[in-house]
Amino acid sequence: MEGISTMKPETGRVNYGGRAFHQDATEAMKGDIIRALIETITNSDDAYGDKDGKIRIEIEHCHGPWSVVTRDRAKGMGASKMRAAFGNLGGRESGFELGESVRGNLGRGAKDLAAFGTVVFESISDDRYSKFTLDPTGNYVLDPTDRKVDTEIRERLGIPRGSGTVVTMNVSENIRCPQHAKLAERLSKHYQLRDILADPRREVMLVNVGKDKGVTLRYAYPSLPVVFQGELSIVGYPEAAVTVTIYRNEERYDDSASDDQRPAGLLIKGRRAIYENTLFRFESNPMAGWFSGRVECSYIDQVAAEYDRRLVARERQDDRNPIPIITRRRDGLQPTHPFYKALATAVEKPLGELIREEEKKAKEGSGHESSKLRRTLDALGRDIARLIDEDLRELEEEGLVGAGEVGSSIPPVKLIPEQAVLYMGEDKTLTVQVRADLKLTEIDVEVDPEGVIAIVGETKIALTPHKKRPTDILVGHVLVRPLVEGKETLLSVRCGSYSAVGLIEVRAERTEIEIPEPETLQFERDSYRVAVGKNKTIHILAPVELVDKHGKDVDVRSSDSGIVVLAGGKSLLRLDEEYEFYVGEITVDARKLGTKAALTAKLGSVTATCNLAVTRDEEGPSIEIKIDDDEAGKYRAFVEKNGQRVIIRIKGGHPAMRRYRGSPPDYKGQDQPLFNALVAEIVADQAARMVLERKFPVAGAEQLDAARFYAEHYAYLSKYLTRCHKTLVADESAD
């Protein structure tokens, strides 16, 4: 027919260019050579399997470009195997998909090593030599055919007989080479390598080329008492087998969840790989630091392999396995995966019980403070909380790179955050920081690939002075909008000859928290704080059947005249059609500071109670400072967080504290200037740490060296210490 085209639609495949290859590899490696070494060491370990074998790592520390060489004498590989393993992205070549006891799952593995520079893979297998060279943009050169190995090749590769593989990373000079001793320490304690380094069949040697003969890396699991051991059933996954072993550490550890060397935490292990070290939802609970252990679950690997199988076969994914469970970024398992959530819920039950026992012990060991010291600590808690809150608000406002930095120590261009998650239906603002001394006025923004997110407004954005650092930093704000769920894209910002790149992930709409239907008459919360002189609205909940029986009129009374229930304490319940239960509200007037009262609501013969306290501030920042009688190993203090409640617990039993506090039961030194000065220093130190943990939440994210860390720490410490000394140490005492 006239006017109808007979041309067939064009089909094809999206080209994955060299720029995208390099950006993706760089995102996976994050500029950390430790990640690269974990890749090469685990690959060599997988190649040996159950056999004995040595792995040799050679580091050539030098100015300019440097090299990292990993050697093993395992089974090696031929040219065809190299082409399949290194020449294809996302392939299923490791044997993981067949259920073999190997770690490879993402189909990228060793290819990400090219993030650091050109990588050369050389191997001997069946007396044949093969070579594969991969550059940072994904281009490779493969020797056309395997050739007979000769003596010169064997001597150069250090494989005098049999098979083996040598991986040489030619690292570009802009990648920092860590100190050798620090490198050895990080590798020997890294949670992903612990099983390998504890295996008597494996010998891993780290050599500083030209400087030493090498040191053998070893890890010895400590001998600790078992406090829980058993197999757990996972709700929704009856076929999953999970064995959990929990130990109690000799001391309580206070290391961050991002610390890959921390002794505390439960190692989640599949058939062979250790995927992460976690304390699940108890990461912020200081008592969780008493525990370490293992969660062994080979079913994780089955879940990962089944997702890949269905993807390749173009089959519909199982609702119980809708997304990959292993993260692309090598940061552990995907916490939003249904199986991970179910696994966490199961493990948190025995772990939570153990933590509650430790909390009970800690409370029993609470200290004996004089009334004078108690009043002083309460006042200091309020003051220091306000200071911390001010600093945290400044960080949230524009994500300042670092206090005290000037000139070239600030990156030319920085995107904050560098990794962002967007939820469908929610726009998000990203911040770009540019050094003011570059004399630039605007930034250009682009997205690659396009279509995953949209830039709201212009792609050319003007820079303005930073509110707190107008002479050092300029800022621009990029508003982005998610378009396609379940996809990732790169957002690039360019300013003059400088640029920065961030990874943007789009997820489904946030799951609304389901409010459980009340079983009887109840207040929305068990306790409230109300600022003196302020009013507060409090909600009352009731199930439909209770209202049908007793009506909708609720009477509310306060046990203390310092808190008055307005409107005569009368509340009318109204049906909330969204949640299908009744909700009422009352307003209280906080008239007297320090009042603690119980509110009692009555509906027919049914009553409900909640507690109220009148404070200087309402639900704002508040820190309690407590001195306990016990000790916690090397720690003088730790921070305990429970919802909005923050407690700095100073361990009065620590040797440094006992000396100045005095002997029980009177602790006569606790009101003396020397002891108070020590408390001031401890509180200021913990306050500075709280801010730094929020400011730099991910280890290595800002590549903090020791000098910068101490500069950051002392900047906050000086600020807080001034306030702490002013409150705790009277002027006449300091004379």
Element (H or E) spanning 444, and its range? Answer: strand 442-448
Instruction: Give percent of the chain above pLDDT 70.
Output: 86
pLDDT(521) > 90: yes
Say if 18-217 and 533-615 have the same CATH topology.
no
What's the topology of domain 18-217? Answer: Heat Shock Protein 90 (3.30.565)
Can you give the residue ranges of every domain in the chain?
A: 18-217, 226-364, 533-615, 623-734
Lowest mean pLDDT among 43-47, 283-287, 574-578, 715-719: 574-578
Mean pLDDT of 145-155: 88
Examine the pLDDT at 395 and tell me if it is beyond 70.
Answer: no
Q: What is the per-residue pLDDT for 109?
A: 64
Give pLDDT, residue 704: 54
Identify whether the C-beta of residue 616 lies closer than 8 Å to the C-beta of residue 608: no
- Whether 732 has a pLDDT exceeding 90, the answer reads no
pLDDT greater than 80 at residue 418 = no
Q: DSSP per residue over 582-599, as a string?
A: EEEEEEEEE-STT-EEEE
User: At 656, phi and psi to the nearest 5?
Assistant: -70, -25
Instruction: Quick: pLDDT tens for 681-705.
Output: 999 999 998 888 777 654 444 445 5
pLDDT at 427: 85
Give me the CATH topology for the region 533-615: Immunoglobulin-like (2.60.40)
For residue 405, the model assigns a pLDDT of 39
H helix intervals, 204-316? 299-313
User: pLDDT per residue over 281-320, tens digit each?
Assistant: 998 888 899 999 999 999 999 999 999 899 889 999 999 9
State pLDDT tens for residues 496-516. 878 887 888 888 876 544 556
DSSP-derived secondary structure letter, 326:
B
Alpha helices (H) along 30-88: 33-48, 79-86
Q: Is the pLDDT of residue 477 over 70?
A: yes
CA-derived radius of gyration, the chain = 30
pLDDT for residue 3: 57
Mean pLDDT of 516-536: 82
DSSP state of 379: H
Instruction: Pick the closest to residue 37 from 196, 162, 161, 152 (CA basis).
Output: 196
Say what the pLDDT of residue 90 is.
54
CA distances from 656 to 181, 358, 679, 682, 686 (A): 31, 23, 11, 11, 16
Mean pLDDT, the chain, rounded, equals 83
Report the range of poorest mean pLDDT among 318-322, 404-408, 554-558.
404-408
Q: Is the pTM of this model over 0.75?
A: no
Q: Average pLDDT for residues 167-184, to the nearest whole number?
A: 87
CB–CB of 78/129 below 8 Å? Answer: no
Beta pairing partners, 140: 134
In this prediction, residue 48 carries a pLDDT of: 92
Q: Which of these ranges, 123-132, 164-173, 634-643, has the smallest mean pLDDT?
A: 634-643
Query: pLDDT digits over 40-75, tens only?
Result: 999 999 999 989 999 999 998 777 788 999 999 999
Report the percent of the chain where pLDDT is more than 90: 39
**618 pLDDT exceeds 50?**
no
Supply angle C-alpha 104, 422, 700, rounded to 5: 55
Residues contacting residue 64 through CB under 8 Å, at least 6 positions apart: 173
In whole angstroms, give the CA distance from residue 241 to residue 26.
36
